[in-house]
Chain A
């Protein structure tokens, strides 16, 4: 199925925070940063699988709550010198609602 799916209004994601979207394919973390940009990643840190959704968001990054690995929100890549990558989802905001592609 190829389509945009509305997940929630933007205002229901706290600024510098996230929401967890449960899908048949595992949890997706939808982040909103300080500039109201929205990003979506698989809710699994590339280090030891920690829930990235629960981390502290700053700029375009999130720090995993388990061991502090920093992950770039726009690419899903761990910030150097750490290595690894988590899956990235397409996401957009339209008229104040957040949509995910191909959930």
Chain B
């Protein structure tokens, strides 16, 4: 098939991101031609400030060098600005006469800096701050001249001023408004910012309007004069007063433009063959200047260029982070507040910390952070998700990390960390290697960083730190992932919730059916979606769905926990942690018979046999004659108990017995993630029930039920759900809560993650307030578990042993003898217990 022709006018970040996304989706659909006005490949414009400050070089900030275009078969015309679009003949013409035909045209012309229309604005030494050329000119000026004036106290102006100061110039920032960065900061935060920039040696002239720029003897600019008559010496004037979408080309071609080229939600202009992305665009009346929304546009545009047609851009909420080394500043949304909003402020001027959150109807609508921006992405996430923060209100200002995560010494401020600080304790990744990877590989997302460095890719406890490092390295380009609409995995754009709903409503009853219905991108899916789909199907159709072992992680397939050397651990169920001498003898005999190298008493009050070879597992299970403890699965784990009123002189309730009954009722239950319970017989809480998914604490008058605790990576104290009188009620409430979690959480959510997302109010509404709903949930749980079989018993039984699935446990051996075909494989059937 003949390829379509795609031409792109503009060679900047938004346009190139579109092409990269397009090449991922449809690598062979188009012959691509790119016109760029600058004599470079595509570079990271956001990082011009570190280049100016002498912290990075141009080479460091190249995203796509010239070779990249060649490798991807893209024709690149550098130094050629497109000056005309002939929409009738469908071709573009560049300033030097170069022409290119198109089937689809992508406008990514970006924006132009605004130059103040004052006398002298065309003098030598008066420049904007936009591209490599401007940056080079500033660096050049810094080595010859002394006085620099930056007009504009916004983000860009301050970055330019900081860079010039670091290059040794005497710098004054001129600003029309009474405080700096008035579009991102309130007066207090701006004051703190000004103080710390002054401490770095910058000078400020606020509320000053420029009247003219005055030439010196050489003809170069030498001074700036204000409306009030005052003058300042100026050998270099940088105008950073704003940008204006570059719509010249589009307007000349007759495309509808307002502040920018007007596009719809699929990034098409009024000519449907012509798309536009980036700073040149006006979408629903907004022209974006920060890179994160532009990347969202790029993704949508690529989806449509690739002819997938299933994605819409609906606008972005933006956040800002200032890239001036040593200053942490974050702002998002409506940070000034208005009618109907309220503010929470934490102010510690001498400690250099100021935080303000603006709330409306129990939701965050904006905020400013100064000095401590560690929680910026968390607040921003809450803002974007529109999450109700009523329950968080008490500790909202102290951030997400006020309860310690394990594994990085409690440090939470990425900017202060030295390069050799170990950020990821699981994979031994230091800050320096993360920063290096981000710069060298041009990474923008947390997932990219995980893939390339492995940082935060295992337990995830350092995710917040890694996000901060990413944010401080790439600045405004970083946007936390939007978890409110989280695609199941890279194989699909549909969310967990959409997929679960369709499984039920459309009666999808197998993995291939579900993948087919949602037009999965990858054949057989991936290691993220297959286990998730398997669980969702199992949960929706407990009796009809045929479990797919090949879509389960090895632990759940082998019903044992794989260890680092490839052996397994065996942990039989010991209900409520209560065992007998006979049981202990049997476990001891099995351990001796199979020379089990390690026997451990676990934190969940059971006994673990470590180092069992896979082929011995069925024999070990047969000899134990005990049920599987499910210690390996996304499933019910244990119910930990204290000795309770039967023995303990303080005990007020029979916690042991309730624990046993609960563990029996929940036995063999699969779940989105592991589920741990505990029952304590009095408020001394020896069973540590308040850090469990469901924790029960006995009091004299009954039982208190707590939910959504966690004792792992991040310690989370559970929240009070209800107080009930009888053990039967405990069963009903606990069972209903767990069933709600099973039906509504995303795969791999622990209860705490799910409850944080849906809110405790919601959980109480479903479990406490709605008695009929609670009973129905509990019934569904009991029904789902009614015919679940013990997996060990099943595997040990004789009929199963003759099935193909049994081969899982039997290696084919050619170890000890000359191999010859035929008879050898007979040996496979040996070695299984009778």
Contacts and interface: CB of A to CB of B under 8 A. Distances in A.
Given A34-B524, A58-B526, A65-B562, A21 B550 contact: no
B79 interface: no
Given A6-B821, A51-B566, A68-B527, A21 B814 contact: yes
Interface stretch (B214-222, B231-239, B296-304, B804-812): B804-812
A24 B524 contact: no
Contacts of A51: 562, 566
Given A19-B807, A20-B811, A59 B822 contact: no
B804 A22 contact: no
Contact of B554 (A14, A23, A48, A55): A55
Given A6-B825, A14-B550, A56 B814 contact: no
Interface in A24-56: 24, 27, 33-35, 48, 50-51, 54-56
A44 to B, nearest CB: 9
B3 interface: no
A15 B808 CA distance: 12
Contacts of B812: 7-8, 19-22
B814 A5 contact: yes
Contacts of A19: 807, 811-812
A81 interface: yes
A47 to B, nearest CB: 10
B834 interface: no
Given A57-B550, A81-B451, A12 B524 contact: no
A18 to B, nearest CB: 9
A35 B550 CA distance: 14
A70 B523 CA distance: 15
A58 B807 contact: no
Given A16-B550, A22-B812, A50-B566, A7 B825 contact: yes
Contact of A58 (B530, B557, B808): B530
Nearest to A12: B807
Contact of B804 (A11, A16, A54, A59): A11
A95 interface: no
A6 B811 contact: no
B828 A8 contact: yes
Contacts of B814: 5, 7, 21-24, 103
A33 to B, nearest CB: 7
Interface in B532-588: 549-555, 557-558, 562, 564, 566
Contacts of A35: 523
The range of chain A's interface size is 35 or more
Interface string B810-826: 01111110011110110
A69 to B, nearest CB: 10
Contacts of A9: 825
Contacts of A50: 564, 566
A103 B552 CA distance: 30
B651 interface: no
A82 to B, nearest CB: 8
A33 B458 CA distance: 27
A7 B824 CA distance: 8
Secondary structure of the B contact surface, majority rule: mixed
Contacts of A13: 807
Nearest to B531: A56
Nearest to B806: A12
A12 B78 CA distance: 59
B90 interface: no
Given A5-B814, A14-B804, A21-B814, A63 B554 contact: no
Contacts of B799: none
B820 A66 contact: no
Most buried by B among A7, A13, A24, A58: A58
Contacts of A16: 524, 550-551
A63 to B, nearest CB: 4
B524 A58 contact: yes
A21 B811 CA distance: 6
B550 A17 contact: yes
Most A-side CB within 10 Å, residue of B562, B814, B828: B814
Nearest to A80: B451
B409 interface: no
B672 interface: no
Contact of A59 (B523, B531, B550, B562): B523
A51 B808 CA distance: 13
Contacts of A67: 458
Interface string B502-543: 000000000000000000001111110011000000000000
Interface string A90-103: 00000000010001
B819 A56 contact: no
A22 B813 contact: yes
Nearest to A13: B807
B452 interface: yes
Contact of B550 (A5, A12, A15): A15
B822 A34 contact: no
A64 to B, nearest CB: 10
B524 A59 contact: yes
A8 B825 contact: yes
Interface string B63-88: 00000000000000000000000000
A8 B826 CA distance: 9
A58 B525 CA distance: 6
A27 B524 contact: no
A98 to B, nearest CB: 10
B354 to A, nearest CB: 40
Contacts of A24: 814-816
A32 B115 CA distance: 65
B564 A34 contact: no
A58 B527 contact: yes
A66 B564 contact: yes
Nearest to B525: A58
A75 B555 CA distance: 26
Nearest to B458: A67
A97 to B, nearest CB: 8
Interface of A: 4-9, 11-17, 19-24, 27, 33-35, 48, 50-51, 54-59, 63, 65-68, 70, 81, 99, 103
Given A8-B825, A14-B807, 11 more contacts: A16-B550, A17-B549, A19-B807, A19-B812, A21-B811, A21-B813, A34-B523, A48-B564, A54-B562, A58-B526, A81-B451
Q: Which 8 A-B pairs have the closest CB atoms?
A: A6-B821, A58-B524, A16-B550, A54-B554, A20-B811, A63-B527, A65-B554, A22-B813
28 contacts: A5-B819, A11-B804, A12-B828, A14-B550, A14-B804, A16-B524, A19-B807, A19-B812, A20-B811, A21-B812, A21-B813, A22-B814, A22-B815, A34-B524, A51-B562, A51-B566, A54-B557, A56-B551, A56-B552, A56-B554, A58-B522, A58-B524, A58-B525, A63-B527, A65-B554, A65-B555, A67-B458, A81-B451
Interface of B: 441, 451-452, 457-458, 522-527, 530-531, 549-555, 557-558, 562, 564, 566, 804-805, 807-808, 811-816, 819-822, 824-825, 828
